[in-house]
């Protein structure tokens, strides 16, 4: 059960505080930089404003390369509640929008807007909100968001989100601890701008309505404590609390524990225990935004370390490259084997990969230590002394975490609450084996994050895969069902209306067929006299086959038949002419066929032949259908009174044409001896005609094939003739 | 006589107890039944779900089923050694090295369509196992980067070879800390 508000107030009234477990007491080294007032840095020639400077998502860039911008003009627009805009730190021109080395341990290039300053430092028009107490809260929050304010203590959480909690707030805690060695930027800010910090606190109180405000300052900053006590004297609701110096008392969870004895749950937020915490720098920036309309474009940066000749604090524009700050404070590499610049403090900072790394909204310190100040990397095996466990402010077991992180046993590391580690570095500080413990944890954490991301992605992929499979199966089923229904409908339609009209048509067809047969018999008599009785017999057979009466014949069949007959008529006509040409040129053709034809012609031939073959095939099928139907429907011709005269005529024409074609074919085989294939085809024709005595239908088919073959050959011969002509002329 | 009686009583008592407990246990097993995660599901959870088919099965689930039926656990190149280790733990077998017959472990890649070369044939869309390609017939196609598993299956069907497999870019968010630490020393 967490402490009640009254208990806490009672204890605070008695000037008593709680404590957090562990903690270390590193040398403070703050006097290096906190003796001089905050200096002003000259406007750098180039500024590198990283687009994403906080937790969350970046805004959308609203400027173009070459565009002139004024100081304080927004460069991005927030599209998302978690995005805060960035602003031009000075007036100038957008030189480039590209990837530039980032203020991140990896140094990976990130999207950056590069501004070349014109040194005029002209402000854009500002919109202060001085009467904020009479404005709706939403308006105040929007102003804070549009000023680009995110937490300046370290994590960079967008301030407007933190300032609009959904729960009641007992305490607003203002963090002025600054527990890390060397860093004095908050210290100097509190000394010099306590009044404006108080104004920022007023605005936050208006937004959050906390029961009480606690301003925590470590007792090693007496000037800052005094300044804020003076600034907050009029307001009884504000209490400046002097916190014993111990690292890491400035950690959010640790400070809450010291002041209220409430513990923020794992994976929880301070708001879960009724507390909101803001950094003093953030309060200063909020006051700037509300009372003068200035966006967050500069901050105090401590430049310190023994490799710096004139250490101190600087007002640095956001986007200032580290090199400018170092040059201003006279960085000398003496005492350093190799350049070593740390962004942040010695406990939690990171070495920058380039001196062009820009200052971002969370940069509080640039540290250039000599080699004497910082130990070399002499990692030795863990001796299980458990000194790290004694100093861990989160009461974890650092050596267990170390074992499991090093062995990549990520599950076990998580079982030991790896994610409750605040990466303060106290364990590494006391480690007698100089093991960089925090770095092992950071590696393990990032690996776990990557693994979780992969897991999420694979779950999504599985889901999508399964959904796709289900969809494909459903589609297949729908298709099958549709086909089944269509088949059923067809069957039904056939059963219901296949008897009357269709029968009549079928009868007419049968009669026509019978007439055609007679015509064929009459026509073919001179060539194949044996056929006549056979044809008669076929008719008789057909007649006797009465039992196979079917209702299949339909008007479409009739149309198909008509088309076929037309096509046949045309074909035979063409054949006649071709055969004649062939006869005329028979000697020529014979000679040429012996020669090798050109490849091109051959190709054409093949194509043509295949087309013919496919045509023939189609016809065959149609014909088979046709003859089947005829055979099926023939038993009722005598019942039929109406005659389809047109059909009859066509059939007669077809029969005539066929007869002619046969005659031509038989003529052809005698005088055209040269091509072997040509010789064969009429023979086939004849044999087919003989076979006709067996089966009328097959004969029809084969005759057509032969016709197609003959046609193809004629064409080939024709082309060859042309080629030979060309040859001759050449 | 009394001995027989005693034995009978004992048997009866034990039998009765057995019956009562049997009924209670039987009831409990029905009433408080815990649906255990079937083995196939557990294996499927471990597999990387690229659905690439490099294992020889049409997707991760079929391979999971096959592993549950005793197939080798080292046929999954996208999962690599980590997956094999996890599968070995789950199945209680020795981890093996990746079977080279099914491919090598590779860096993570995703498909990228060179959009001006795409002719809109939809063949890659049909090949994609996770519907990560967007497009329509005769319209330019593109890959939804967040959904692409890098399975490589869309590359072969493309008639104009306009699909590249590009390595996933490393950003600050996916960066893994290296051990090049700032050394810390007792200062002062």
**What per-residue confidence (pLDDT) applies to A140?**
92
Lowest mean pLDDT among A160-169, A174-183, A669-678: A669-678
Residues in B touching A450 (Cβ below 8 Å)? 174, 176
The residue ranking higher by pLDDT, A704 or A606, is A704
Nearest residue on chain A to B125, alpha-carbon basis:
A468
Cross-chain Cβ contact A425/B49 below 8 Å: no
Nearest residue on chain A to B147, alpha-carbon basis:
A461
Residue A548 has pLDDT above 50, yes or no: no
Cross-chain Cβ contact A462/B60 below 8 Å: yes
Cβ A185 vs Cβ A221: under 8 Å: no
Q: What's the Cα-to-Cα distance from A176 to each of A330, A361, B66, B103, B154, rounded to whole Å?
A: 28, 17, 61, 57, 57
Provide long-range contacts, Cβ within 8 A and 24+ apart, for A395-401.
A395/A21, A395/A22, A396/A420, A396/A421, A398/A427, A398/A437, A401/A437, A401/A440, A401/A441, A401/A444
Which of A106, A341, A405 has the highest number of chain B CBs within 10 A, making it the mutation to test binding with B?
A106
Could you say which of B146, B174, B187 has the minimum Cβ distance to residue A373?
A: B187
Categorize the per-residue pLDDT at A632 as very low, low, confident or very high, splitting at 50, 70 and 90: very low
Categorize the per-residue pLDDT at A590 as very low, low, confident or very high, splitting at 50, 70 and 90: very low
Nearest residue on chain B to A449, alpha-carbon basis:
B174
Cross-chain Cβ contact B187/A446 below 8 Å: no
Chain A segment 71-110 residues within 8 A of B by beta carbon are 102, 104-106, 108, 110
> Is A599 at the interface with chain B, CB within 8 A?
no
Query: pLDDT tens across B22-51, in order?
Result: 999 999 988 888 776 688 888 988 898 888
Cross-chain Cβ contact A461/B179 below 8 Å: no
What are the residue boundaries of the structural domains of chain A, listed by start? 1-30+138-293, 394-497, 509-729
Which domains are present in chain B? 39-102 (1.10.15.40), 107-170 (3.30.70.20)
Q: What's the Cα-to-Cα distance from B12 to each of A415, A601, A628, B9, rounded to whole Å?
A: 51, 104, 86, 5
How many other CB atoms sit within 10 Å of the CB of residue A25? 11
How many other CB atoms sit within 10 Å of the CB of residue A342? 20
Cβ A296 vs Cβ A288: under 8 Å: yes
Residue A482 has pLDDT above 90, yes or no: yes
Cross-chain Cβ contact A443/B178 below 8 Å: yes
Q: What's the Cα-to-Cα distance from A115 to each of A51, A91, A122, A390, A680, rounded to whole Å?
A: 12, 8, 14, 49, 90
Please give the interface size between A and B, counted as residue pairs whose CB atoms are below 8 Å apart.
113
CATH no., domain A1-30+138-293: 3.40.50.11540
Measure the N-to-C terminal CA separation of chain B; round to a whole number of Å.
96
> Is B183 at the interface with chain A, CB within 8 A?
yes
**Residue A66 region, left (φ>0) first, then alpha (ψ -120 to 50), else beta?**
left
Cβ B148 vs Cβ B111: under 8 Å: yes
> Is A461 at the interface with chain B, CB within 8 A?
yes
Cβ B141 vs Cβ B124: under 8 Å: yes
Please give the average per-residue pLDDT across A461-474, as a whole number.
92
Chain B segment 122-151 residues within 8 A of A by beta carbon are 129-132, 146-147, 149
Cross-chain Cβ contact A376/B188 below 8 Å: no
Residue A596 has pLDDT above 60, yes or no: no
Categorize the per-residue pLDDT at A711 as very low, low, confident or very high, splitting at 50, 70 and 90: confident
Residues in A touching B48 (Cβ below 8 Å)? 454, 458
**Token duo for residue A173:** 């805690």
What's the gap in Å between the CA of A478 and the closest CA on chain B? 18
DSSP secondary structure string for all residues of A691-709: HTTT-HHHHHHHHHHHHHH
Sign of the CA dihedral A662, A664, A669, A674? Answer: negative
Q: Report the number of secondary-structure helices (H) and strands (E) in chain A.
A: 21, 16
> Is B5 at the interface with chain A, CB within 8 A?
no
The residue ranking higher by pLDDT, A623 or A414, is A414
Residues 6+ apart with CB under 8 A from A21: A392, A393, A395
DSSP secondary structure string for all residues of A389-457: HHH-TT---HHHHHHHHHTT-HHHHHHTTGGG-----HHHHH-TT---HHHHHHHHHHHHHHHHHHHHH
Q: What's the Cα-to-Cα distance from A591 to each of A40, A581, A588, rounded to whole Å?
A: 106, 15, 5
Please give the average per-residue pLDDT across A396-406, as a whole number.
93
> Is B181 at the interface with chain A, CB within 8 A?
yes
Length, in residues, of chain A: 730
Average confidence score pLDDT of chain A: 80
Q: What angle do CA A313, A319, A323 make, to 5 degrees?
A: 65
Helical (H) or strand (E) element with A281 = helix A280-287
Provide long-range contacts, Cβ within 8 A and 24+ apart, for B79-85.
B79/B46, B79/B47, B79/B48, B80/B105, B81/B105, B83/B46, B83/B47, B83/B48
Could you say which of A351, A443, A447 has the minimum Cβ distance to residue B182?
A: A351
> Is B79 at the interface with chain A, CB within 8 A?
no
- CA A416 – CA A397 distance, rounded (Å): 7
Q: Three-state SS for A312? A: strand
3-state secondary structure A136-149: CHHHHHHHHHHCCC
**What per-residue confidence (pLDDT) applies to B169?**
73
Full-model pTM: 0.67
A235-260 per-residue burial string, b: 16 or more CB within 10 A, e: under 16: eeebbbbbbeebbbbbbbbbbbbbbb
Residues in B touching A439 (Cβ below 8 Å)? 177, 179, 181
Query: pLDDT tens across A231-278, in order?
Result: 999 888 999 999 999 999 999 999 999 999 999 998 889 999 999 999
Cβ A318 vs Cβ A150: under 8 Å: no
Q: Three-state SS for A350? A: strand
What's the gap in Å between the CA of B26 and the closest CA on chain A? 36
- CA B101 – CA A339 distance, rounded (Å): 49
> Is A350 at the interface with chain B, CB within 8 A?
yes
- CA A442 – CA A465 distance, rounded (Å): 34
Q: What's the Cα-to-Cα distance from A309 to each of A187, A328, A335, A665, B122, rounded to whole Å?
A: 21, 10, 12, 114, 67
The residue ranking higher by pLDDT, A333 or A299, is A299
> Is A442 at the interface with chain B, CB within 8 A?
yes
Q: β-pairing, A171-176 with A212-218?
A: parallel
What's the gap in Å between the CA of B61 and the closest CA on chain A? 9
- CA B148 – CA B51 distance, rounded (Å): 10
Chain A segment 520-539 residues within 8 A of B by beta carbon are none
Residues 6+ apart with CB under 8 A from A525: A531, A532
Query: pLDDT tens across B52-108, in order?
Result: 888 889 888 889 989 988 888 888 988 888 888 889 988 888 888 888 888 887 788
Categorize the per-residue pLDDT at A605 as very low, low, confident or very high, splitting at 50, 70 and 90: very low
Helical (H) or strand (E) element with A633 = helix A599-633
Lowest mean pLDDT among A351-360, B5-14, B71-80, B173-182: B173-182
Closest by CA position to A600, among listed A716, A510, A522, A695: A716
Cβ A39 vs Cβ A298: under 8 Å: no
**What per-residue confidence (pLDDT) applies to A645?**
54
| Burial (CB count <10 Å: 0-12, 13-18, 19+), residue A590 | middle
């Amino acid at each position: 059960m967490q402490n009640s508000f009254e208990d806490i107030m009672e204890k605070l009234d008695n000037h008593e505080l709680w404590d957090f477990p562990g903690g270390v007491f590193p040398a403070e080294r703050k006097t290096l930089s906190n003796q001089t007032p905050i200096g002003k840095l000259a406007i750098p020639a180039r500024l590198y404003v990283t687009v994403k400077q906080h937790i969350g998502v970046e805004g959308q860039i609203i400027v173009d390369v070459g565009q002139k911008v004024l100081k304080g003009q927004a460069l991005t627009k927030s599209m998302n509640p978690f995005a805060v805009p960035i602003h031009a730190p000075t007036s100038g021109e957008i030189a480039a929008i590209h990837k530039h080395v980032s203020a991140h341990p990896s140094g990976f290039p990130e999207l950056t807007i590069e501004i070349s300053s014109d040194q005029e430092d002209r402000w854009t028009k500002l919109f202060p909100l001085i009467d904020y107490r009479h404005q709706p809260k939403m308006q105040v929050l929007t102003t804070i968001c549009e000023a680009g304010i995110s937490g300046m203590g370290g994590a960079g959480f967008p301030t407007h989100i933190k300032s609009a909690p959904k729960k009641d707030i007992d305490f607003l805690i203002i963090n002025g601890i600054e527990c890390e060695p060397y860093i004095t930027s908050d210290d100097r800010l509190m000394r010099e701008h306590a009044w404006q910090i108080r104004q920022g606190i007023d605005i936050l109180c208006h937004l959050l309505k906390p029961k009480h405000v606690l301003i925590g300052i470590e007792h090693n900053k007496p000037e800052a404590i005094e300044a804020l006590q003076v600034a907050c004297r009029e307001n009884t609701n504000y209490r400046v609390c002097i916190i014993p110096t111990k690292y890491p008392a400035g950690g959010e969870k640790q400070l809450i524990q010291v002041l209220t004895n409430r513990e923020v749950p794992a994976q929880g937020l301070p708001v879960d225990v009724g507390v909101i915490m803001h950094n003093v720098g953030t309060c200063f920036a909020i006051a700037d935004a509300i009372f003068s309309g200035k966006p967050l474009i500069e901050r105090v940066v401590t430049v310190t370390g023994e490799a710096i000749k004139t250490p101190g604090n600087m007002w640095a524009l956001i986007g200032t490259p580290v090199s400018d700050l170092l040059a201003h404070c006279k960085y000398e590499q003496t005492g350093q084997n190799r350049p070593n610049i740390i962004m942040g403090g010695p406990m939690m900072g990171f070495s920058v990969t380039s001196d062009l790394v820009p200052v971002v909204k969370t940069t509080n310190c640039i540290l250039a230590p000599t080699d004497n100040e910082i130990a070399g990397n002499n990692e030795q095996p863990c001796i299980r002394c458990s000194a790290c466990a004694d100093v861990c402010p989160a009461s974890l077991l650092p050596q267990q975490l170390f074992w499991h992180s090093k062995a990549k046993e990520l599950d076990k590391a998580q079982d030991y609450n790896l994610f409750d580690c605040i990466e303060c570095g106290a364990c590494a500080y006391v480690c007698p084996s100089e093991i960089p413990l925090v770095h092992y944890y950071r590696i393990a954490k990032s690996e776990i994050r990557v693994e979780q991301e992969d897991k999420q992605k694979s779950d999504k992929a599985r889901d999508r895969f399964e959904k796709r499979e289900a969809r494909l199966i459903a589609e297949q089923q729908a298709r099958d069902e549709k086909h089944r229904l269509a088949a059923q409908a067809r069957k039904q339609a056939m059963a219901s209306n296949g008897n009357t009209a269709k029968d009549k048509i079928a009868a007419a067809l049968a009669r026509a067929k019978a007439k055609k047969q007679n015509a064929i018999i009459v026509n073919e008599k001179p060539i194949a006299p044996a056929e006549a009785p056979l044809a008669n017999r076929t008719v008789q057979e057909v007649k006797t086959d009465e039992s196979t009466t079917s209702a299949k014949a339909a008007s479409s069949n009739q149309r198909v038949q008509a088309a076929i007959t037309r096509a046949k008529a045309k074909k035979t006509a063409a054949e006649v002419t071709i055969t004649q040409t062939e006869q005329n040129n028979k000697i020529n053709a014979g000679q040429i066929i012996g020669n090798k034809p050109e490849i091109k012609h051959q190709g054409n031939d093949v194509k043509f032949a295949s087309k013919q073959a496919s045509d023939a095939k189609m016809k065959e099928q149609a014909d088979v259908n046709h003859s089947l139907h005829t055979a099926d429907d023939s038993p009722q011709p005598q019942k039929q009174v109406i005659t389809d005269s047109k059909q009859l005529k066509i059939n007669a024409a077809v029969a005539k044409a066929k007869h002619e074609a046969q005659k031509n074919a038989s003529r052809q085989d005698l005088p055209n001896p040269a091509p072997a294939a040509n010789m064969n085809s009429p023979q086939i024709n004849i044999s087919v005609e003989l076979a006709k005595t067996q089966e009328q239908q097959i004969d029809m088919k084969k005759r057509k094939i032969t016709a197609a073959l003959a046609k193809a050959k004629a064409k080939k011969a024709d082309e060859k003739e042309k080629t030979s002509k060309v040859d001759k002329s050449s | 006589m009394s001995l027989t009686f005693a034995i009978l009583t004992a048997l009866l008592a034990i039998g009765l107890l057995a019956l009562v407990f049997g009924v209670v246990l039987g009831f409990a097993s029905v009433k408080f039944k815990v649906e255990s995660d079937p083995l196939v599901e557990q294996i499927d959870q471990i597999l990387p779900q690229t659905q690439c088919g490099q294992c020889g099965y049409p997707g991760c689930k079929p391979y999971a089923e096959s592993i549950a039926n005793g197939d080798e656990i080292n046929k999954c190149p996208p999962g690599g050694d980590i997956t094999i280790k996890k599968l070995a733990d789950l199945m209680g077998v020795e981890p093996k090295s990746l079977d080279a017959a099914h491919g090598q472990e590779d860096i993570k890649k995703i498909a990228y369509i060179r959009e001006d070369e795409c002719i809109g044939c939809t063949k890659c869309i049909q090949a994609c196992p996770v519907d990560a390609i967007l497009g329509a017939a005769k319209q330019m196609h593109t890959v939804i980067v967040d959904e692409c598993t890098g399975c490589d299956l869309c590359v072969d069907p493309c008639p104009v070879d306009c699909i590249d497999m590009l390595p996933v870019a490393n950003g600050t968010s996916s960066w893994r800390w290296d051990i090049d630490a700032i050394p810390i020393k007792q200062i002062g």
